[in-house]
Structure 1
C-alpha cells in the first residue's frame, strides 16, 4: 500500500528539488536561499518578512472596549460572514471589513461618531483591545477627515474612536430589560 504524503511534505520535496536544480545550473546563492527556507531559522525569517509586509499595508489598530462589546461585535461579524457566504454575496467577512466600511462612511461624511464616554481613572469597567488591520488608505482618509470635521463635530476623533463608534453603531448592545417592581 502506497503511503500518502502530506501537502507540507510535497512542498518541502519540491523546494529541495528546486534547490538542486538551481545548484546544477550554477545558481548556488539562490539554491542556498531556497535551502535556508527549509530550516527553522528560514521559517522565522519568512514570517518576519510577511508580517512586515502586512504591517505596512494594513497596520494594527487596537480598539479599546469592554469585553462584552468585543464579544458581541466578533459574534455579529461572524454571523454576517455566515449569512453572506450562504447567500453567495461574499466569500468572507470580518470585523476588519466592518471597520473599513465605517472609516469610509466617516471620510465621506455619512457617519459622525459621538465622543467616547469618559470615566474617572480607575472607576470605569474593564477594557480589552479588539485588534483589526484596516486598509491604510482608508485609515489615512479617516484621519484627515477627522481633522477637517473637528469643528463640525466639536472634537477631533482618533481613528480608534471612529472605528469603535461605528462597530457599536452596527452591533448595538441589547436594550436593558425593564425591572419589575413588587
Structure 2
C-alpha cells in the first residue's frame, strides 16, 4: 500500500527489502529511541527487523494491526501503526516513532493526520487512542495538535529498561 501524505512524505507497507534500512536507522538512533521505546533490546540486527516485518505482515493479514513505513524525500525515517485494531468496536491505538534528525519538522503530525483519515475512510474506525510517556513532550504535542482529548494519566504504565514511566492517554472520536 502506497499512501501519499504530501509531496515530501509518503507511507508504504513494510517489506523484507526494508529490513536492512530499518535495522540501520534503529541502530543509528538507538540511544535517542531508547528514551521512550521499550523494544530496542530486541532489535539488534537485520534479522531482527525481518522477524518484526514478518510479524507485521501476519498481523495485517489477520486484521489485528497495520504498520507502515514513513518516508521523507524517499528515505525511511520512521514507522506509524494502528497497534491494535478492534474492528468490532471501530477502535484503534496509534503508535509512531521518527528518527531524531527529522524531529520538529511536522512530519509526524502530518503522518498521523493522514493515517487517521485513512483509518476513518478505509477501515471505518471511529475512535483513535494515543498513549505517550508523560515526559515525552514532543510525542504528547502530536495528539494535542490534532484535536485529541487527554482522557487519562496512567501511573507506571510502561517499563523502560530500568524504570517505569507514566503515560498520558489521548482519544479522538469521530461519529
Higher relative contact order (CA 8 A, sep 6+): 1
Q: TM-score range by the shorter chain?
A: under 0.3
The structure carrying a bigger strand percent of its residues is 2
The structure carrying a bigger helix percent of its residues is 1
What TM-score does the superposition give when structure 1 sets the normalisation length?
Answer: 0.23
Larger gyration radius, structure 1 or structure 2: 1
